Structure 1
C-alpha cells in the first residue's frame, strides 16, 4: 500500500501510521462489501427510491424494513385507522415488507401510519422512510401524509454551482426567522429573509431543523423522521421553491443533518420500530447517549449504512441541497462521545476510544456526497481536532471539506468573561484564530446559535447586558454601550478576516440581536417572544443595531472583493502587547487593530510593504456607530526603514482607542 498523503504531510502522525492505515483499509473493505463491482456508492444509496410510499402508473407501492415484525398493516383515514386485511403488507425478503394498492385506495394529503406487530406486542409507527409527516393541531399527534401533488415542483435553476472561495455562511432557522411571535414558514423566509441575506453578501445559508422532529424546542436535533422536511414550516414544494430561489441569487443551501443520534420516541421515531431496541441502534449500554437523551445508531450494520447514506443522497437529489453541516461529529468519532476527554495530544485520537464504524460511515458519506455532486459542501461540527477530518478520502482523511473552528467562540467567551480589557494579549488573539492544521480548511465564527441559547449569552449581551434595553439609540449611548459596540465590530472583523476556508454568522447576530433564544416550553408559558428575530431593530437607522448591521454588510463586501480571499497568506506585521496593537497583511490589504481601551496612538509606526495605502473599512466610521476620529480621505505613504532586510518601510498611522481599520495598497 502506497503511503497515504496525510502521513506525508504531517511527520508527527508517523507513530500512528498503523491506526490511520487500518482505518482507511477498513473503509475500503466496507465499501467493497456494500458496492458490487462496477457500481458506486451512489448506486447503493438509493433506498429512498425503493422504500416508503411511491405512486406507480397503475396505483401505489409501499415498502418497509422491519425484520422482527410478524405482521404489518397500513392504517389511515382511508380505512378509519383500522387493522384491515386489504391493507396488510406481505413479507418479501431480507426483513422487507411490501403492499401494492390500486390508485383509488389512497389519495394526496391523506394521513397514514403503520400498525406493526411482533411476538408479544404491537404498536403504531410512522414509516421510517416517510417523506412527509404532519402534526394535528388539536391532538398534537403526528402522522405520515401522502404527498403526491398533481403538479410537482420543477426546479428552474438546474446548473447551480456553489461559491466557496471563501464560503460565507448565514446560519438560520426557518421557524424563528419572523419578527412576529409565531412559527415562520418556508414561504415567509423565501420572500423576506432570503433577500436580506443576499443584500448582506453571504453566499451560503445553513438551515437548521429541516429533518422532522417532534419537539420544536429541540432546535431540530432530536430527529424522528429523517426523510421528511419539517411540515411545521410548510410543504415540500415550498422548501424546494426556497432553495431554487436561493440558487437564483447565487446562494448555496446546506442543511444541518443529524446522523449522530435519533430521538427516543417510539411512535414518531425509530426507537423499537419493529419491537426490538436494536434494529437501527446499538443494543445494551451503547444504545442510549449518556448526555443527549437520545439513541445511538449502530454504524456497523449494513442496513443502517444503507438508511443513512440514502438519506444523504435523498436531500441532494430531491431538494437540491448543496451539502450538509454534520451535527455532533465528535460524539460519533469516539466511544466516549468525547465526554470528559481533554484531547491534549495525538495519542488522544488513536486508541481504543475511537469508534471505527462511525468513522467509516462518515468517510463513506463524504465520498458518496461528492459522487452525487462534485461541488457539494460538507462541514463537520467537531471539537476534538482529530487530524484528517477535513482531508480528502483518497489522501487518508475522513473527507469533509471544512471543519468548524469550535474553539474560537469558546475563546471569545473566555476573553470577554474572564480577562480584563487591559490584559487582552493581541498576539494570543491572532494565534487562537489561526491555530489550525494548514492542510484542512476551517470555518471561523465568533458565535453561532449555540452561544445564543437561553442559559448562555451572545457576544453583544456579554458586552452590554441590560443597557441594550435603554441606550442603543444613536446619540444616547453610554460608555458600556460604546465599548460593546466597538468590540463587537472588532471581534467579528478579526474573526472573519483570518479565515482559511470560510466564515459563519448566526441569523441576527450580525447586528447584535438582543437577548437570547428560548423556544416555547412549559417553563416560559409556551411563549414565542424569544423564538424570533427582531428585524425592525436593524432596519431602524436610529438604532445602533442598524450600525452593526451596516458594518457587517461592509465587512462581507470587503471579503468578497478579493478573489479567493481565504487562500491568501496571513503575514503578521506588528504585535506589541504593551500597546495592544496588532497588524497583519493579506495580499495588498493591511488589517490594523487597537484593542487598547484607553490609549489612542498618533504617528504609530507599523512595518509594511513599500507603497501608498488608503482606508477601505473603518470600525470608527459614524455609519457603523463610531465617532469619525479617522480621516479616511488621507492617503498613507510609507517612509524608509533602512535596517529592515525585507525592504519594508514605516507606515505611520493614527489609531484611536478600541478601533480597527483596513488599508489597501494602491496600485503603482
Structure 2
C-alpha cells in the first residue's frame, strides 16, 4: 500500500492570502496535483475542511479502502488537509472521505477536481489542464476586438440541445462534434460571440447546469476538459469570442458536493435566512467567509486562465445582493446596519471584478441583474460593482409586452418602447432575449407575436431589427434566429427541420443580414453605452405606431436613420425629418422578399427637400413598409 507522504504546495504567503480572501490561484494548490516529489511521480491532494476530524483519500488505487490513505492536517489554522501519494497518475478515480465535525463519514467529490465522472456517477478524476493552444493570434487582438466600443452579438447556446445526432436523438453531442458544426454555423450567421450556458459539472440535467457540484471541471457529458479546450480554440481561430455562464450565487445540496462539507456549514451560511434559496432549493455561498471568496474568485480566474474564456456572465446577481430576494421582508435576514443588502456579496462582487479586469486584458464580466441596484457597471473606485455590462431586463420585459399587443392597439402603448431610452445610458446594458424567455409556458419568440403567420414573422423581424439598432450589446438564444416554434426543450435538439420552410428561412436570413449590418456600421456600436450615439427624430407618432431615431458613430458619414412601422399598414409618402442635409439611400429593410417580406422597398436615392418636419429644416419622403424596419444611410 502506497503511504501518504507529508508534503505541501502551500507557502506561508499562500496561507495568508487564502485566509484573508485574497488568493485567486487556488487551483494551482488545492485538489489533485500531478507532481514529482524527490523524483517520484504521484499526486498531491489538498482539501479545505477545517472542522473535519479526519480526511482520507479513497479510490480505485486502494480499492476504496476507507482507512488506507489519511491526509495530514496542517499545524496552522488554515484548516487544510494535504499529502502526497506516490504512483497515482492521471485518470485515477478518487473521493475525499470526510469524517465531519458531527462524527459522520461522508464521501465528497473534490471541490477543485479538474474532471468528474459522467453523472450519475460522482467520483472525481485525477487530471491535468495540458493543452497545446493555437489561439495566440486571437488573444493578442482580443483587447481590441472585445472592447466595449466594438460590436457584440452573442449567440446563447445550451450544449445539450443545440443539435443532436438524428440517429441517436437521446445522446448529447461531444465537444468535438459540436465544434465541427457550431463554429461554421456561428461564423456563417455573423455572431461575434458565443455564450455557453454553464459548462461545469452538474448532477441534474434538468437544472441546465445552474446547480453545480464540480466548479473546476468541464462537464463530462460532452467529453474531456481538453476537448472543451478544442471547441474554444476553434471558436477563437475564427475570431469568435466565448462567454461562459458562471454561477457563484448558489449550489445544490447533493451529499457529494459542497453542502455541509466538513460536517458544518462551510461554504454556505449556517443561518438559512442567508444560506438557503427557497425558489431553487439550493444553498447560498457565505460571502462573509474569506476562504469562500478565495474559492469563487479562483474559480472565475481558472476559466479565464486555463480555458481562455473571454467573458463571464454572472448568474442571478440580484439574488446575491439582497437578503430579501424571493423572500418576505419578515422572513429575511438584515445586515449589520439593518438593511436588506448582503454586504459580503457586494464586497465579493467588487473583489471579483477587480481581480478579473486586473489580471486579464480584453475580457468582460456581465451581470444578470434584475433589480434597481445602482452603479452595477461603474468602476469600483467610483463606488460601483465593477461589471463590464448588465442585462437590460427592463427593456426586455417592456419590449415583449409591447410586441404581444395586436397592432391595432399599439397606439395605446406607444411609450412602452420609448421609456427605456430614459435610463439606457445609466449602465452598460446588454439587450437579451435569452433562454428564460422561451421556457415554462412563456412560449417561443414567434408565438409571442400577434397576427396571422405572415404578421407573426414580420413582427419578429421587426423585433430583432429594433433590438440591433438600439443602444447596447445584443444576446439571442439559439433557435430564435430561425423562429423555433416550440418552447425550448433541453432534452432534445432544436427543430432544424423548420428550415425547410420559407418563413423560417427568411427569418434566418434576416438575422444573418442584421448581424452583417451591425458589425459593418460603426453607428450601431461605437457609442453603445453613450447618449451621443442616439437621438430621436420622432418618438410621438402613436397614431401610426411609427418610431424614427438616429444612430450616430464617431463620423457624420456613418449616421443612420431608423424607421419602425409597427402596424401592418403600408404608409406611402411618409415624411421624415433629417438630421442634416444629404442624399439618403435605403441600406436595410426587413420587408425584403428574401426575408419573407412583401417587398415594399425604397430602391431609389432619396433626395432632401427644404421642407420642415420633426423640428428640422430638411426632410425626405419615402414609403414605409408594413410591420418593418427601414434603415437609411447617406447615399453618393
Shared fold by TM > 0.5? yes
Residue-pair matches, total: 585
Q: 1:304 aligns with which of 289, 292, 305?
A: 292
In the alignment, the residues of structure 1 paired with residue 585 and residue 424 of structure 2 have an alpha-carbon distance, to the nearest angstrom, of: 33
- Give CA-to-partner distance per residue, 1:192-243, whole Å, 9 cap, x none: 0121111111111111121111101101111111111111011100111111
CA distance change for structure 1 residues 653 and 642 in 2, over 3 Å: closer, same or farther?
A: closer
Q: Please give the residue correspondences for 1:479-558 in structure 2 after superposition, counting only pairs within 5 Å.
A: 480-500=452-472, 502-519=473-490, 528=491, 531-538=492-499, 540=500, 542-558=501-517
Q: Please give the residue correspondences for 1:62-81 in structure 2 after superposition, counting only pairs within 5 Å.
A: 62-81=45-64
- Structure 2 residue 597 is matched with structure 1 residue 618: no
Q: TM-score, normalised by structure 2?
A: 0.87
In the alignment, the residues of structure 2 paired with residue 483 and residue 63 of structure 1 have an alpha-carbon distance, to the nearest angstrom, of: 61
In the alignment, the residues of structure 1 paired with residue 455 and residue 272 of structure 2 have an alpha-carbon distance, to the nearest angstrom, of: 53
In the alignment, the residues of structure 2 paired with residue 199 and residue 313 of structure 1 have an alpha-carbon distance, to the nearest angstrom, of: 31
Q: Please give the residue correspondences for 1:261-280 in structure 2 after superposition, counting only pairs within 5 Å.
A: 261-267=250-256, 269-280=257-268
Match of 1:133 in 2: 116
In the alignment, the residues of structure 1 paired with residue 346 and residue 522 of structure 2 have an alpha-carbon distance, to the nearest angstrom, of: 34
In the alignment, the residues of structure 1 paired with residue 412 and residue 461 of structure 2 have an alpha-carbon distance, to the nearest angstrom, of: 18
Match of 2:393 in 1: 406
In the alignment, the residues of structure 2 paired with residue 169 and residue 154 of structure 1 have an alpha-carbon distance, to the nearest angstrom, of: 27
Q: Which runs of 5+ in 2 are unaligned?
A: 1-12, 330-336, 528-532, 553-558
- Give CA-to-partner distance per residue, 1:520-563, whole Å, 9 cap, x none: xxxxxxxx3xx32233433x3x4311110100010111111123
CA shift, 1:482, in A, is 0.5
Q: 1:145 aligns with which of 125, 130, 146?
A: 125
Match of 1:362 in 2: 349
CA shift, 1:420, in A, is 5.6
Q: Please give the residue correspondences for 1:48-63 in structure 2 after superposition, counting only pairs within 5 Å.
A: 48-57=27-36, 58=40, 59-63=42-46
CA shift, 1:179, in A, is 4.1
Runs of 4+ aligned structure 1 residues displaced above 6 Å come to 33-37
- Structure 2 residue 196 is matched with structure 1 residue 222: no
CA shift, 1:247, in A, is 1.1
Q: Which runs of 5+ in 1 are unaligned?
A: 1-32, 342-349, 465-478, 520-527
In the alignment, the residues of structure 1 paired with residue 599 and residue 389 of structure 2 have an alpha-carbon distance, to the nearest angstrom, of: 38
In the alignment, the residues of structure 2 paired with residue 643 and residue 275 of structure 1 have an alpha-carbon distance, to the nearest angstrom, of: 73
In the alignment, the residues of structure 1 paired with residue 468 and residue 575 of structure 2 have an alpha-carbon distance, to the nearest angstrom, of: 25
CA distance change for structure 1 residues 282 and 296 in 2, over 3 Å: closer, same or farther?
A: farther
Match of 1:174 in 2: 159
Q: 1:570 aligns with which of 527, 534, 543?
A: 534
Match of 2:332 in 1: none
Match of 1:319 in 2: 307
Match of 2:106 in 1: 123
Match of 2:8 in 1: none
- Give CA-to-partner distance per residue, 1:151-208, whole Å, 9 cap, x none: x311111242043412211111111121442312211221101211111111111111
Contact 2:461 2:510 in 1 (8 A): yes
Q: 2:133 aligns with which of 155, 162, 176?
A: 155
In the alignment, the residues of structure 2 paired with residue 413 and residue 427 of structure 1 have an alpha-carbon distance, to the nearest angstrom, of: 13
Q: TM-score, normalised by structure 1?
A: 0.83
Indicate the larger mover: 360-369 or 390-399.
390-399
Indicate the larger mover: 75-84 or 613-622.
75-84
Q: Please give the residue correspondences for 1:377-388 in structure 2 after superposition, counting only pairs within 5 Å.
A: 377-388=364-375
In the alignment, the residues of structure 1 paired with residue 275 and residue 21 of structure 2 have an alpha-carbon distance, to the nearest angstrom, of: 29
CA distance change for structure 1 residues 148 and 279 in 2, over 3 Å: closer, same or farther?
A: closer
CA shift, 1:135, in A, is 2.5
Contact 1:42 1:372 in 2 (8 A): no
